[in-house]
Amino acid sequence: MKKQIFILTITLFCNSINAQQLFFIRGAIDNATYFNAPPSVQLLSYEKDSLITVNDYTDLLYSKHQQLKSIIHYPELNIVYFRADLRFFFLKTDNDIRTLTEIVPNCPANYDSSNPFELKAIRGYLTYDCFNPDATNNKDVFLYTKVNLTTNEHTAIDAYDYGYIYLTGTSSQNIILYPNDKKIYIPIIADTINRPTLSVELPTEFLVEKKKRTILRINDEFQTLITVGSSKPNKEDDYGLYDGILYNKKNNHWSEIHLKGNAPKIEAFEDWITGYVRDVNVNANRVSPGKEDRDKAELSYCFDDWAFNNGVYVPGFLFLFNTSTGNYIEWETGQGDSEILLIHDNIVYYRVFDEIYKSSIIEGEKLAQPQLLIKDNQIVPFIHWAFLR
């Protein structure tokens, strides 16, 4: 009997050590004009079926007439990055999560730091460009700088470091492909001859016959995803198709990839590509399912405003695609305002309008019965990011 009690005690102790706290970030990107007051930007913790506010960043991100422009989550780097007009902040999810740290560009004389673009993640750093409007040599137009997020040290880098740009789908990078050229060019400098190239190259079967401008969607330690094109729906109840080429870095293998929807929302979590099906600018009059529930919530700005303004139809299909095994998992939520928030240790966390669920991925092929974590029709619809620590 004593032996059994001892084993139980050890088991409970180990479980408590391994337990991780689930956090959510609430925010509405660039929608302050639709509110009487700025929308709340908050860090929330999930505790005993409740959402607890850890910190509120609203005043910081909406001060002095600025608006929140983007939030980008880099799961493998433990970084959440915030841009409020021309002010840049980050949150280290494996460190002190109660405060945002501002990144103040450190540009030398004659260089301008008012860069309207996103800070890029490269080799674990965040980078920015300093612009010299008086430069007479193309090579001197931009000065590239990286920021060490631990020491806050700003160090000059070469443009070719952009060949290791880190993308997880929440932001993208324009690229150029040239005929019969395996290199993938990144047009970040005016000097077209000396433009940097991506660290990976195309195989012969995917070389283009004429110059092509396209988009790099994902480039992390697991995979690279390049957009090839998209096709419109061929019938009333269709959603079109997204075409891309995918490089699996574990297997050193390139392949074609076709995803449902001509502009699916795509994000990467380790070797999973996730997202939701989306049909863009085909028939703006199509109303995504679940609008009755969304109307009942009486939100000051909601999914339907965004969808109507952007000509977007979302049928309510979520998907997981494993880039190592090729396994594809898809399920219908019945709600257009649905998205995947996080995948961690083969558990997927996703939102269906005002509800957040978690479900285990069984043998990489299907989902277990989902568990409802929280339901709140005023807070949950504005939750779009999640992390564990």
How far apart CA 364 and CA 328 sit, in angstroms, is: 9
Say what the pLDDT of residue 2 is: 39
The pTM assigned to this predicted structure is 0.91
Q: Is 309 helix (H, G, I), strand (E, B) or coil?
A: helix
Termini Cα distance of the chain? 36
Q: How many residues can be counted in the chain?
A: 389
- pLDDT tens for each residue of the chain, 389 residues long: 434 433 333 333 344 345 789 999 999 886 655 556 778 999 999 998 999 999 999 999 988 777 888 999 999 999 999 998 888 999 999 988 888 999 998 888 888 876 656 789 998 899 998 888 888 877 778 889 999 988 889 999 999 999 999 999 999 999 999 999 999 999 988 788 889 999 999 999 999 999 999 999 999 999 999 999 998 887 766 898 999 999 999 999 999 999 999 999 999 999 999 999 999 866 667 899 999 999 999 987 779 988 888 889 999 999 999 999 999 999 999 999 999 999 999 999 999 999 999 999 999 999 999 999 999 999 999 999 999 99
Say what the pLDDT of residue 7 is: 35
Say what the pLDDT of residue 282 is: 63
Nearest to 216 by CA among 280, 120, 147, 138: 120
Say what the pLDDT of residue 284 is: 60
Q: Is 316 left (phi over 0), alpha (psi -120 to 50) or beta?
A: left
Say what the pLDDT of residue 323 is: 95
Say what the pLDDT of residue 5 is: 36
Paired residues of 372 in beta bridges: 357
